[in-house]
Amino acid sequence: MTLTLTTAGESHGPALVAIVAGLPAGLVLDRNAIDADLGRRQQGYGRSPRQQIEQDRVEVLAGLRHGRTLGTPLALVVGNADHKNWAWGMSPWPPEGEPRGKGKEPVTLPRPGHADLAGAMKYGLDDIRDALERASARHTAVIVAAGAVAKALLAAIGVSLEGRVVTEDLERRIDEARADRDTVGGVVEVRARGVPPGLGSYATKEERLDARVAATLVGTQAVKGVEIGEGFALAGLRGSEAHDEILRDEGGYHRETNRAGGIEAGVSNGEEIVVRAAMKPLPTLMKPLRSADLETGEAAEALVERSDVAAVEALAVVAEACVAFELARAAREKFGGDALEDFVAAHRAYVERIPWSPR
Ligand SMILES: Cc1cc2nc3c(=O)[nH]c(=O)nc-3n(C[C@H](O)[C@H](O)[C@H](O)COP(=O)(O)O)c2cc1C
């Protein structure tokens, strides 16, 4: 059994939905911990006023009873409080009455760097909103909720994660960009401690932990590069400088350096997992770039819509959730257990068998 995550939801639709299947029964979930992560995603320097409209809270529709998982699919919902302003424009059914509120005018000015033009051509759209609503990173809210669930599962086997921004001087860059009606990106890092050796596999690309971690991050909006451990810098080093020598003491095998970022041959090696993601500057600019009107073909400026100047701090939280989900999935594959007790017992027996201990 593995863990799967399916999401649905548009940026200004009624709600975002996630279904997490494959969780063991008996895992205690803390609503406040999930909401705290949702709140962390909404904070951060450079975010738009939308974050004050929304105060994300998780609702659970299935898979949980009295705070414990049932071993059945867990259905998570995060409502879009802003939907009330888009009730006509984003009505799931043909809307009744006169066009009103936000989203009633079709969007025809594609933004460079967003889903707008590719989406319009791919689906033959007259209104770019049909593409941008799902492409928007708003749905990372429900990914963060699923990540919080994954973190609860990982905590049961002593694994903890932390996502943070590593770009220096971000606030100054954001202030300068805002003054110029521009946007910025940055770099975030996720570290996971307590990950035992042996998660993932070198057997196939699909099972490789490095591939899975990279895919989940690069599959997140605005992420254009991923580094595991020293990543790109390794290419300029000699082998003797690049690899982490193997040492052994009473605690088992360990390394003094961690340039591999805790993954070798697609398998966790017992060191801290260290992964970085590079985020491009956000595509919606208050001083728009050149574009062409979808309807007329005439040169025009790209769409200006309420938007963040930067969302790097939010990405750190999203990236933490994404990596947590992949690690939880790999742990579920390694340790099985449809009941939490069995999952934890399998982990304990494995760690007792191997010459390794968390440091
Ligand atoms: C947490 C987060 C918040 C974002 N907020 C915005 C935003 O306010 N405005 C915007 O233009 N892009 C924003 N983006 C980025 C776009 O969603 C993204 O650039 C776009 O969907 C195109 O996809 P791509 O950058 O992966 O190619 C955000 C991304 C993340 C991860």
Report the separation in Å between the CA atom of 43 and the middle of ligand 1, taken as the mean of its atom positions. 15
Half-sphere exposure of 133 (CA within 13 A, CB side): 25
Ligand 1: nearest atom to the Cα of 284? 11
Report the separation in Å between the CA atom of 321 and the middle of ligand 1, taken as the mean of its atom positions. 17
Q: What is the pLDDT of residue 48?
A: 81
pTM above 0.95, yes or no: yes
Q: What is the pLDDT of residue 54?
A: 74
Q: Which residues of the chain have pLDDT under 70?
A: 50
Any ligand 1 atom below 6 A from CB of 7: no
Q: What is the pLDDT of residue 318?
A: 98
Any ligand 1 atom below 6 A from CB of 48: yes
Q: What is the pLDDT of residue 47?
A: 87
Report the separation in Å between the CA atom of 221 and the middle of ligand 1, taken as the mean of its atom positions. 5
Query: Which residue CA neighbors atom 27 of ligand 1 most closely?
Result: 222
Report the separation in Å between the CA atom of 135 and the middle of ligand 1, taken as the mean of its atom positions. 8
Report the separation in Å between the CA atom of 225 and the middle of ligand 1, taken as the mean of its atom positions. 14
Q: What is the pLDDT of residue 179?
A: 95
Any ligand 1 atom below 6 A from CB of 283: yes
- Quote the CA–CA distance of 46 and 57 in Å, as a whole number: 22
pLDDT digits (tens, 9 = 90+) for 327-359: 999 999 999 999 999 999 999 999 999 999 999
- Quote the CA–CA distance of 346 and 352 in Å, as a whole number: 10
